Structure 1
Amino acid sequence: MAVPTLSPSSTVSAIILPSVGVKANVTGSLPFGVYTSADFISGAVDQVAFTYRRLGGDVLDIELTANNVYAAYEEAVLEYSYIVNIHQSKNTLSNLMGQATGTFDSDGELQAGALLNQLSGTGAELRYPRFDLGYANALASAASEKAQVGGTATFYSASIDIVDGIQDYDLQSIISSSAAAGGVPYANVDTNKKANIQKVFYKSPRSFWRFYGYYGGINTIGNLGTYGQYSDDSTWQVVPVWQNKLQAMAYEDALSTRTSHYSYEIRNNKIRLYPVPGTDWVTKVWFEFTIDTDPLFDDAGLDTGVTGVNNMNTLPFANIPYTNINSIGKQWIRRFALSLCKEMLGLIRNKFTTIPIPGESVTLNGDALLSQAKEEQTGLREELKTVLAEMTYDKLVTTDAEMMESTQNLQAHIPMIIYTG
């Protein structure tokens, strides 16, 4: 029997990774198309040659296409941007809480709008924000508001018309009635919410001129130890303003406590006046109050940041531009893209564990490639995260402090030169 003549259509693999890439083919092969700059295209083309050499393409065929390498290179750049942006979010989130955020497209890029215009084309991911204790300020503002020394709450005032013999008054009803009647600053405020009574008073606080005197008195105080300060040797001492202020506050407090026999108690926004109002009472009592606003809405006329950045997801961070990635980052990207190519090649070769040949079979190394690729990717991610963790802003401050302390200790041991003339 005659041996048949075989005429294969090709004597080489149908798909082989070329030794060089083609710039014109890069953009059309990218799954996301996030990076399309000339610099990125050059980097993707170079990655083909790098992958070809590292995987031994000049010795054994590599069952990948150049398009696979281009896609892996884009994924590696996106992975690098992802890890670095997470690192930067840890550094800046506290300062950016409540600041303007933006909207993002399917690629994660900041869309056109007011924020993008303000950034003038330079993304927030590339900026070094001022350290302004944003979150700490928000906490301090809330605390100071309760202490009536700051905050953003609006203070309103209302009054009670005192009726002889009537000791109890419902402050919440008074507020709601006056708001319904209109003509008051809180007419459009939701007065169904419980009002927070901050202060009750029946007339303006006594003037400080009682303490300071007709001719003032700031920074000076008489020495009353010399004949009632009328003798020729009377002296005047210069004192700080804060001392005068403390003395005035003590004096005013004494006036309010000792000269006023009125008092009150408030329970559930119902006030009881003491003693029972009569002919010797004032005709009107005033009180100041605030009404809590919903924490998910801004106070009236104020931008308190409730619609701004609230966590990592709303930070206005886009993908890091390729041109802003330095040599350190680009080398990490090359190594990560190579491991992605190894993973793809392993998946392809795993589809056919063995290939029969005349009298023998060839076992492919798909499992080995997959294992190596996974280990390399995990190692590269951990390497980058570890380096970045050592460079957070708080770690840099600690390092600088330790360096300064070490420098001082070193200088303390340097002998001082004794000059001899």
Structure 2
Amino acid sequence: MTAVPDSVDVVVIGAGPSGAIASALLQQRGFNVVVLEREHFPRFSIGESLLPQCMVYIEEAGFLPAVRDAGFQFKNGAAFGWGERSTYFNFEEKFSPGPGTTFQVERARFDKLLADQAEAQGVRIFYGHTITGCELGEGESLLSYTRADGSAGQISCRFMLDASGFGRVLPKLLDLETPSSFPVRQAAFTHIDDGIPTGAFDRNKILVTVHPEERDIWYWLIPFSGGKSSLGVVASREKLAKRQGETPLDLVQTMLGEAPVLAKLLSGARWQYPANQITGYSCNVKQLGCQNYALLGNAGEFLDPVFSSGVTIAMRSASMAVKVLERQLNGESVDWTSEYEQPLRLGVETFRVFVDAWYQGLFQDIIFYPEQSKSVREMISSILAGYAWDRNNPFVAEPKRRMRALAEFCTSEA
């Protein structure tokens, strides 16, 4: 590949889903764009259960045929378990218009596929390039970077899109990070050959299992094609510390033993993949965009993995930011707060209410209530499918009030 140019219109930091989509959309609009990515693909990442809303942005970027043909596990909903109780949501039965199905993906292969599709459209991606410095200027910014061989370089640009995910490159360099309001939680996870007998579980759905006794502890099971699954457990750092084993794999296996129904489902699993854990992953920032840069997805804010919202927020932020940026680069006056940050935060705040309600037990009271209203289920299904920006949905227009009122009704009727 040719060397990184000295100057471009836009530098995208990171080649994950938001970076691939943003760069492809900019390339389609005729802008000079490059992507600088620290890692070499394929590389492991979590966030493996997509939401149907993602398909809108995958199609917008021109990636949909490749994603459909890749052999990923089909997904049409979410199942929930709590002891012997169970329920599920079919995402095709939802309030909001739009796709009702998607895929569950091993991110190493999925992210490389999207990046390759962006390159096929003409995007230049430079792997093994780590951003080390940023100088903001009026109309132009300067990024410093090091290559994999240790050599250094610089590139000037009219705008920067930070798609670095948990790396949060610009928030760290520009002192944009602020404390999250969420308690510090920890996730331990691995891949397994799940050994689930045919018919024992609907592999077209993610399974979220609540700990039988401690409702703020939960497990994810994300089936992939080929009999493989992602398995993880999430709890407060303090609660997992009490069960900590010698390795993250010990922790996952110990915690699985505390959920008998899930353990029985996975009794035939083979544990032959490495495990890992992350702690304190929730974050927030002072601002999501200005005349020099915009933060996409996890680079700006990450809530919690419970509703698989991360990739959806990342992809939507890429689509939204490019539309505002196109106008700015073409000489129009734009307001990044009112045209990007505030509209994006509408959906983020909807997800935040659902996450809060999950850990408070309110959402669990709702979904395990036996006599659920079909119309309310469809409204909730829309949020779970990623349509958290649909203002016509009462759970987007007034998420906190609706959630509390519904939880109070379900507990009073129980």
TM-score of the two chains, using structure 1 as the length reference: 0.25
Relative to its length, the structure with more helix (as a share) is 1
TM-score (normalizing by structure 2): 0.25
Bigger CA radius of gyration: 1
